[in-house]
Chain A
Amino acid sequence: MRKKQWGKAVLLAIVLAIAAACGNAGHSQVEPGSGNGSANATGSLSGKANGNANGNANGDGTGNGKGNPGDNPNSSTASPNSVSADIEPEDGASLVVWESDGNERKFLEEIGRQYEELYGVKVKVETVPSIDTVGKLMTDGPAGLGADVFSAPHDSIGKAVSAGLMLANDRTTEDLAKNAIPSVVSAITYDGVTYGYPMSADTYALYYNKALMPKGPETFEELLEFGKTFTDPSAKKYALAWDVAQIYLVHAFIAGYGGYIFGQDGTDPADIGLNNEGAVEGATFARTLKALFPLNTADINSNVIAGLFQEGNAAAMIEGTWQMANLANAGVDFGVVPLPLLPNGEHPKSLISVRSLFVNSYTRYPNAAKLFAELATNKENAKLRYEMTAQLPTRQDLMNDPVVTGNPDVAAFMTQMQHAVPLAAIPETATVWVPSYAALSTIWNDDKTDVKQALDHMVSQMKTAMETNP
């Protein structure tokens, strides 16, 4: 009997030991998603195109799997933004605000305190992830249960506007035109109407390891030159690690040469610019970067990239803002520069995702709600938000503010934002992710792939997906 008990104990110990060992296996936590761009249905930028387990700029998990809305046959007839006269909060007003948990929520609670001092109106901040607010409003809004002011990523504007959930921004448009980064304004504008009160933005730039690279490269030629001496596949050393088949990143090269996802500033699904001359050139150039990172796409995912960079096995990586905190925690001595110039002298055009406050069209206190959004996004509070959350501000007038210039990494991201374009907010964007991952994978993995043919095939797949049920 005794023996048996011992045997069981030993067995249990072995199992536990193996479990522990496997738990620490590899160099990074195992991710539930995958490295291969399974785009979420909405193509929600805030979840990034590759559903990975990294927190993103907005501190939410990955994208939501909510369906995307159908096309709204009748376009909204909202009036163009005209700033209304000075307004006062309605009598007996009280506000409910939705925001993700974390520092961004603490910030809005702080604004709530300011607001109560100013107007004597109570503000309650409830925790609803930024990514889910629009979906929740679809059901709660018409029932009158929704928040008066809510935070959401810009790519849910299309969905929300066609459901009539948002009131246009008629308070701060002049200020935005003067002081906000242009790509941010176009991100929160839909059908010619500006809806949001932008709080923060997110894009990607080039991280470099200061121990391996004295200064960040200004052009890709420089980086390729550096790679000749640094890249060594047998020693697992790479000059530049990045998620090579994600259209989210490859867009920077494609657009730098004149390609685009949808024409008319991302509003015309019939005009796909992913297989025009510029796009072919951009994708061909992206493939030349294989000299710096000779891996197969099946072996690349965001954990591999972050792992390589943190271990000093990758001299540079292309990643979003959220990596700054991770790297600082890991104790890596890193710097950030805007994406290096392309051989044609252009800046790569990264994709930008903007997080804004919106006013619920079902609110009982529209004036109070608008005043709250306005207060939360004025210059002082934009600064305060940056200090509290470390998320990139969207105001150009903060570009030269010591709070930004004091941090060169943030300044680099702010510069990259000047060359960024917003991801299209139309429902058809959902058709981009899967075909593009397949096409960009074959282009990258096989040097013999005809780039033009692969991109043509991808566009025809997108079109089939759109016309499958006309």
Chain B
Amino acid sequence: MKSNVTTMANRPLSRPWTAAVLSAACAGGGQLLNRQYAKGALFLSVYAIGVAFILPRLYEAIRGLITLGDEPTRIVNGALVKGDHSIFMMIDGLIALFVAAGLVWLHVLNAVDAYRQAACKSAASGGRAPGVRLAAREGRTALLLLLPAFVLVLFVSVIPMLFNILTAFTDYSSPNHIPDRSLVNWIGWGTFVRLFTEPAWYSTFTGILLWNVVWAALSTLTVFFGGLLVALMINHPKVRFKKLWRTTFILPWAFPAFIAILVFRLLFNGALGPINGLLEQIGLPAVPWLADPTMAKVTILLVHFWISMPFLMALQSGILTTIPKDLYEAAEVDGAGGRAKFSRITMPHVLLATSPILIMQFASNFNNFNLIYMLTDGGPANPAYFFAGSTDILLSWIYKMTLEQNQFNMASAVSIVMFVLIASISVLNYSRTQSFKEKD
């Protein structure tokens, strides 16, 4: 590309800063100064389009994120006048924030590019600057190639998560703040303050949290040790028909949990269920399996044990077979009994291999929505709780608040608190377990 003689062209192009400042003031300016006319024109046109069309919209969207709307939809003289939909504005504003950040980043890039090219030019004494190939070597193509994945992650996980967090700081709830017939407002920490000070919310939250932690711990431990016990029994050399036993115990795992839980619900029915029928026939009193708050919790643990134990049993059977036989033989030579062999050889091996699984189990049991929702649906009813029953865990409580009661802000606040709790427990545990420590 031959350049016509301009005032610019007569200047020595050894002032990278001029180019950078030019580009910062008006994208493409610095590139034009560097005589990269095509590039400069491209930048300039993109910049012009952006300023003319995108910036006003971005401004509107970000303003919407701050105000969350001024006028709800209303009826004026019998006609519907569309108003602002606060929640859509919030999501649009979030997206706009990211777009704005991207644009700022591009603008900075164009200024940096102008500076670099100018610097290269003065180094290469007037020749044309090396273009794309240099850029490639600097790894910018890698960024370009990663861009689609980055955008996908942004929309699939980052924005929804931010939206969830932001909701906790609004009054988005039924019956008075459901768009678009009414506006949603920012209320800062109000929701959290209410959660931790208003007795109705506070007592519900602490009560459910306590049961949730107890449930997660107990369900994990019972299943873990139950599975280990069964695996040890099956693996015992004196036990015959190993395959038969293993198959029998794996059946509950093969059975769809959904159906199993609903069947258990029928079986445990206090008045008409077959289990109580059986008890009455052999002269025992009926047990209020699902009617008494404490008994219902025990029933949940029992059903969970039935469903989840086979998986742990299979896992630990596998681990037991990996323990070298000669260890046991050596122990026997040294005169170790069964108990010593178990505590000194079996247990350390099993724990070392399964501790990460324990943590995963704890986290998944903490949020075991299916079991609670389908077996008791949080029941028996608890009048002291707010939108929850005696056996509800945090997650099923959040479900009830959002899908049945439209208390979106409170549900978001509880889910944030829940996330902080689970995350901290998990991180603590992960960093402490043997299997994550570097060993050589």
Select B406's contact among A11, A34, A36, A68, beta carbons within 8 Å. Answer: A68
CB-based contact A469/B405 at 8 Å: no
CB-based contact B72/A36 at 8 Å: no
Determine whether B386 belongs to the interface, using a CB cutoff of 8 Å to chain A.
yes
Q: Which residues of A contact B80 (CB under 8 A)?
A: 142, 163-165, 361
Nearest CB of A to B259, in Å: 6
Nearest CB of A to B199, in Å: 10
Q: Which residues of A contact B177 (CB under 8 A)?
A: 70, 469
Is the interface on chain A under 10, 10 to 19, 20 to 34, or 35 or more residues? 35 or more
The residue of chain B having its C-beta at the shortest distance from the C-beta of A468 within the complex is B173
Select B383's contact among A15, A25, A69, A439, beta carbons within 8 Å. Answer: A439
CB-based contact B254/A437 at 8 Å: no
Contact with B along A59-74 (1 / 0, CB 8 A): 0000001011111111
Determine whether A428 belongs to the interface, using a CB cutoff of 8 Å to chain B.
yes
Determine whether A127 belongs to the interface, using a CB cutoff of 8 Å to chain B.
no
Determine whether A201 belongs to the interface, using a CB cutoff of 8 Å to chain B.
no
Contact with B along A1-42 (1 / 0, CB 8 A): 000000100010011001100110111001110101011110
Give CA–CA (A299, B270) in the complex, Å.
Answer: 6
Give CA–CA (A433, B141) in the complex, Å.
Answer: 58
Nearest CB of B to A290, in Å: 12
Q: Which residues of B contact A172 (CB under 8 A)?
A: none
Contact with A along B376-399 (1 / 0, CB 8 A): 111111110111010000000000
Give CA–CA (A439, B280) in the complex, Å.
Answer: 30
Give CA–CA (A76, B80) in the complex, Å.
Answer: 10
Determine whether A438 belongs to the interface, using a CB cutoff of 8 Å to chain B.
yes
Determine whether A82 belongs to the interface, using a CB cutoff of 8 Å to chain B.
no
CB-based contact B383/A457 at 8 Å: yes
Determine whether B14 belongs to the interface, using a CB cutoff of 8 Å to chain A.
no
CB-based contact B379/A299 at 8 Å: no
Nearest CB of A to B58, in Å: 26
Interface residues of A in 252-298 (CB under 8 A from B): 269, 295-298
Q: Report if A298-B290 is in contact (Cβ < 8 Å); known contacts: A22-B259, A163-B181, A468-B407.
A: yes
Determine whether A434 belongs to the interface, using a CB cutoff of 8 Å to chain B.
yes
Nearest CB of A to B113, in Å: 45
Determine whether A384 belongs to the interface, using a CB cutoff of 8 Å to chain B.
no
Select B171's contact among A22, A431, A469, beta carbons within 8 Å. Answer: A469
Q: Report if A74-B75 is in contact (Cβ < 8 Å); known contacts: A295-B270, A454-B383.
A: yes
Nearest CB of A to B282, in Å: 14
Give CA–CA (A308, B74) in the complex, Å.
Answer: 50
CB-based contact A73/B175 at 8 Å: no
Q: Which residues of B contact A31 (CB under 8 A)?
A: 262
Q: Which residues of A contact B326 (CB under 8 A)?
A: none
Give CA–CA (A52, B378) in the complex, Å.
Answer: 16
Interface residues of B in 240-284 (CB under 8 A from A): 243, 247, 251, 254-255, 259-260, 262-263, 265-267, 269-274, 280
The residue of chain A having its C-beta at the shortest distance from the C-beta of B183 within the complex is A70
Give CA–CA (A26, B247) in the complex, Å.
Answer: 26
CB-based contact B174/A437 at 8 Å: no
Q: Which residues of B contact A437 (CB under 8 A)?
A: 381
Determine whether B194 belongs to the interface, using a CB cutoff of 8 Å to chain A.
yes
Determine whether A445 belongs to the interface, using a CB cutoff of 8 Å to chain B.
yes
Among B267, B280, B389, B400, find the residue whose CB has the most chain A CB atoms closer than 10 A.
Answer: B389
Q: Report if A36-B262 is in contact (Cβ < 8 Å); known contacts: A70-B177, A71-B176, A468-B407.
A: no
Determine whether A366 belongs to the interface, using a CB cutoff of 8 Å to chain B.
no
Give CA–CA (A216, B192) in the complex, Å.
Answer: 55
Give CA–CA (A256, B431) in the complex, Å.
Answer: 64
CB-based contact B79/A164 at 8 Å: yes
CB-based contact B200/A72 at 8 Å: no
Q: Which residues of B contact A295 (CB under 8 A)?
A: 270-271
Contact with A along B67-106 (1 / 0, CB 8 A): 0000011111111101000000000000000000000000
The residue of chain B having its C-beta at the shortest distance from the C-beta of A303 within the complex is B266
Give CA–CA (A445, B75) in the complex, Å.
Answer: 47
Select B270's contact among A39, A162, A298, A438, beta carbons within 8 Å. Answer: A298
Q: Which residues of B contact A428 (CB under 8 A)?
A: 175
CB-based contact A26/B271 at 8 Å: no
Q: Report if A25-B267 is in contact (Cβ < 8 Å); known contacts: A74-B75, A298-B290, A441-B380.
A: yes
Q: Which residues of B contact A163 (CB under 8 A)?
A: 73, 80, 181
Select A298's contact among B82, B194, B291, beta carbons within 8 Å. Answer: B291
CB-based contact B271/A236 at 8 Å: yes
Nearest CB of B to A350, in Å: 23
Give CA–CA (A457, B384) in the complex, Å.
Answer: 8
Q: Which residues of A contact B265 (CB under 8 A)?
A: 30
CB-based contact A71/B381 at 8 Å: no
Q: Report if A70-B266 is in contact (Cβ < 8 Å); known contacts: A36-B381, A464-B386.
A: no
CB-based contact B270/A34 at 8 Å: no
Nearest CB of B to A241, in Å: 11
Select A304's contact among B269, B274, B379, beta carbons within 8 Å. Answer: B269
Give CA–CA (A357, B374) in the complex, Å.
Answer: 36
Give CA–CA (A115, B341) in the complex, Å.
Answer: 88
Give CA–CA (A32, B374) in the complex, Å.
Answer: 8
Q: Report if A236-B400 is in contact (Cβ < 8 Å); known contacts: A38-B377, A298-B288, A299-B290.
A: no
CB-based contact A72/B74 at 8 Å: yes
Give CA–CA (A297, B290) in the complex, Å.
Answer: 10
Q: Which residues of B contact A400 (CB under 8 A)?
A: none
Nearest CB of B to A383, in Å: 35
Q: Which residues of B contact A146 (CB under 8 A)?
A: none
CB-based contact A438/B182 at 8 Å: no
Q: Report if A434-B400 is in contact (Cβ < 8 Å); known contacts: A26-B266, A30-B262, A469-B171.
A: yes
Give CA–CA (A234, B251) in the complex, Å.
Answer: 34
CB-based contact A15/B409 at 8 Å: no
Determine whether B404 belongs to the interface, using a CB cutoff of 8 Å to chain A.
yes
CB-based contact A434/B387 at 8 Å: yes
The residue of chain A having its C-beta at the shortest distance from the C-beta of B293 within the complex is A298
Give CA–CA (A23, B255) in the complex, Å.
Answer: 12
Determine whether B216 belongs to the interface, using a CB cutoff of 8 Å to chain A.
no
Give CA–CA (A234, B281) in the complex, Å.
Answer: 10
Q: Report if A68-B243 is in contact (Cβ < 8 Å); known contacts: A299-B272, A434-B400.
A: no
CB-based contact A296/B78 at 8 Å: no
Q: Report if A72-B254 is in contact (Cβ < 8 Å); known contacts: A299-B272, A430-B174, A464-B386.
A: no
Determine whether A245 belongs to the interface, using a CB cutoff of 8 Å to chain B.
yes
Q: Report if A469-B290 is in contact (Cβ < 8 Å); known contacts: A30-B262, A438-B381.
A: no
Interface residues of B in 410-424 (CB under 8 A from A): 410
Give CA–CA (A175, B78) in the complex, Å.
Answer: 25
Give CA–CA (A366, B352) in the complex, Å.
Answer: 75
CB-based contact B404/A41 at 8 Å: yes
The residue of chain A having its C-beta at the shortest distance from the C-beta of B288 within the complex is A296
The residue of chain B having its C-beta at the shortest distance from the C-beta of A465 within the complex is B405
Nearest CB of A to B204, in Å: 10
Select B175's contact among A245, A427, A438, beta carbons within 8 Å. Answer: A427
Give CA–CA (A470, B194) in the complex, Å.
Answer: 13
CB-based contact B182/A71 at 8 Å: yes
Nearest CB of A to B48, in Å: 34
Determine whether A219 belongs to the interface, using a CB cutoff of 8 Å to chain B.
no
Select B78's contact among A11, A76, A434, beta carbons within 8 Å. Answer: A76
Give CA–CA (A229, B243) in the complex, Å.
Answer: 56
Q: Which residues of B contact A464 (CB under 8 A)?
A: 198, 200, 386
Q: Report if A74-B271 is in contact (Cβ < 8 Å); known contacts: A297-B380, A469-B176.
A: no
Q: Which residues of A contact B176 (CB under 8 A)?
A: 70-71, 466, 469-470
Question: Could you tell me which A residues sit within 8 Å of B by CB distance?
Answer: 7, 11, 14-15, 18-19, 22-23, 25-27, 30-32, 34, 36, 38-41, 65, 67-74, 76-79, 142, 162-165, 233-234, 236, 245, 269, 295-300, 304, 307-308, 361, 427-428, 430-431, 433-435, 437-439, 441-442, 445, 454, 457-458, 461, 464-466, 468-470
Known: A30-B259, A36-B377. 9 other contacts (CB 8 A): A25-B263, A26-B266, A70-B181, A72-B181, A73-B72, A299-B273, A307-B272, A441-B383, A442-B383
9 pairs, A vs B, C-beta closer than 8 Å: A7-B243, A36-B379, A36-B389, A41-B404, A65-B404, A69-B178, A298-B376, A427-B175, A469-B176
Closest 4 CB pairs of A and B: A164-B80, A70-B182, A298-B291, A296-B291
